[in-house]
Structure 1
Amino acid sequence: MSLTVLIPWRSQPSRIAAFDAVATWYRTHFADVEIRTVDSPEAVFNLAQCRNLAVAGVQNADEVVVINDADTLPELESLLAAIAAAATSGVVHLPYTEYRWLGAAGTTQYAAGRPLVDCDFELVHGACSGIYVATPATWWAHGGQDERFRGWGFEDAAWYLAHATLLGEEPRRHSGRVYALHHEPQLRAGVQYDANAAWMERYRAAVGDAISMRALVLARLS
């Protein structure tokens, strides 16, 4: 099976091992996989912009692609189910119902050969990021992700609300787990984080109002 995997990526020493693990997982499970890394041109890493740029680089609007964070591993069966469904559904698919953060202990266990499902973890409630499965046509149908969220925080939650409001349903989940590997955490505080939080309130205010939500999204695209 051929597959294109898009990974937002800016190299940092503590993240290299996780990135290598993600790349190895895909090369192990897919004989014909193309892994494309995308960085944002800004000095401050912009995860939403990376995802948008990655999808914009896919020429076939109907090709199903996997947008995969550089630290997150899926389970094969749920990923395959998401890939199959995303071709015709018109919505984005999340290949998990459970998001496990392995932390330092669980990540060390995995590196030593323990199966992912048996590694120590913390459950992240309400997760809506990590791995997306979609066609470019679907990604752009609700505006992609908002690049006004810079640094870290809220871009995934805002996207989730826009998807639900503009496409008429939440992203579809497939039963299974994803596993986030340990690395040095990013600072989620300060002026930029506060600005992201304030912008997120605009999205919350537009929930269920397609006209307001579309205007919010189009303001970024214009």
Structure 2
Amino acid sequence: MGAHGGDVAVVVPWRPSPDRLPLWDWVRARWAAEFPDWPILTGGCPDGVWSKGTAVADALTRTSARTVIVADADVWTPGIPTAVDEVLAGRARWAMPHALVRRLTPDATLAVLDGAPLDGQPTVETHQGMPGGGLVVVARDLLDGVPMDPAFTGWGQEDSAWALALTTLAGPMWRGTADLTHLWHPPAPRRSRSVGSAESLARFRRYVAASGRPDEMRGLLAEFCPTPLEGSPTVYRYRNDNTGDEVEYPQPNARLEMLPNWTRIAAPEPTSEPTTQSTVGRPPVSEPKAAWVEYATSLAQDSDEAAEILTLTKADLIDRYGKEN
């Protein structure tokens, strides 16, 4: 089934403000024009401190869609249909359509709002998108069992913590190659460019410690979720069209993805058997710099160290934070 059909809803955590209203007006119109059959639901939280997890949960009370897109109110990507198709077809339980994030300049954002094309606009920066952030497509049963943590307040760390929980309990995400464009607005208050608050950083470290340990992750989620996801993580499954042989991998297999006689198929439903997965938070050396920045930030002792991390090269990060414990 194409991504323009299916039981899909768009969930947007949202709190109105004068500087962000024009951005959401533009993004909402884009959603409505390109995917008119998908309901668009904004979720909020009580006045006071902002909680993205609370806002997402609020929106979910108004939809029973089997596939949910959790999207920020200031982003857009052409990769949405492909990512949705992966989840609808059962080939992935959660997916991100984008690899790079293009953050537009203030003038470029104004030009887009005035009708200029989104592509080709100048950017403040372009960087690897952090897992769990910007726009994520999730099967509803997975979202109910691995919700975004409402205890993260203000800005920062909630997206990365959610990605660690999803990976640990549901398996790796499917990731597309499209760019995600982020419309400019004044940044939210935060402790530093990479750390929202000391409390959020401390809570994120708990997710890093539980990463790859399903029982520990379920215990962490149980603090706010009555039904943490049970079972073992989903795998990537492939079938040989010539022989009928099927194989499984914990990550996408680049070679089989390219061979014409191999097809990625929906994996069996996760079982309730205990898992022996023992992956830790430290990424492989082959992972991009963004993954090492995220990991190093989780170990930072204070905001000064977290800010310094952003200035280091990948080699510096591996040398400083990549040693075995």
For normalisation by structure 2, the TM-score amounts to 0.62
- Alignment match, 2:175: 173
Shift of the alpha carbon at 1:206? Answer: 1.2
1:34 corresponds to which of 27, 32, 39: 39
> How far does the alpha carbon of each residue in 1:147-194 deviate from its partner, in whole angstroms, 9 at most, with x for none?
11011110000011111111122x221120111111121011299711
- Alignment match, 1:120: 122
**1:32-181 matches, cutoff 5 A:** 32-60=37-65, 63-75=66-78, 78-87=79-88, 88-89=90-91, 91-121=93-123, 122-128=125-131, 129-141=133-145, 143-169=146-172, 171-181=173-183
Structure 2: segments with no counterpart, 5+ residues: 227-325
Name the % identity: 28
Question: Are the equivalent residues in 1 in contact too, given 2:142–2:170 (CA < 8 A)?
Answer: no
1:6 aligns with 2:11: yes
Decide whether aligned partners of structure 1 residues 42 and 220 sit closer, same or farther in structure 2, where only a CA change above 3 A counts: farther
One-letter code of the match for 2:109? T
Q: Which moved more, 1:78-87 or 1:2-11?
A: 2-11
Q: Which moved more, 1:172-181 or 1:48-57?
A: 48-57
Q: Over alpha carbons, which structure has the higher Rg?
A: 2
1:25 aligns with 2:26: no
Question: Are the equivalent residues in 1 in contact too, given 2:22–2:113 (CA < 8 A)?
Answer: no
- Alignment match, 2:254: none
Decide whether aligned partners of structure 1 residues 123 and 155 sit closer, same or farther in structure 2, where only a CA change above 3 A counts: same
One-letter code of the match for 1:79? I
Q: Give the structure, 1 or 2, with the largest relative contact order (CA under 8 Å, sep 6 or more).
A: 1
Q: Give the number of the structure whose residues are more often helix, by fraction.
A: 1
Question: Are the equivalent residues in 1 in contact too, given 2:87–2:95 (CA < 8 A)?
Answer: yes
Q: Give the whole-Å Cα distance in 2 for the aligned partners of 1:28 and 1:58.
A: 20
> How far does the alpha carbon of each residue in 1:49-103 deviate from its partner, in whole angstroms, 9 at most, with x for none?
111222343224xx2222211111121xx21111111122452111111111113
For normalisation by structure 1, the TM-score amounts to 0.89
Shift of the alpha carbon at 1:37? Answer: 1.2
Work out the number of aligned pairs and report it.
216
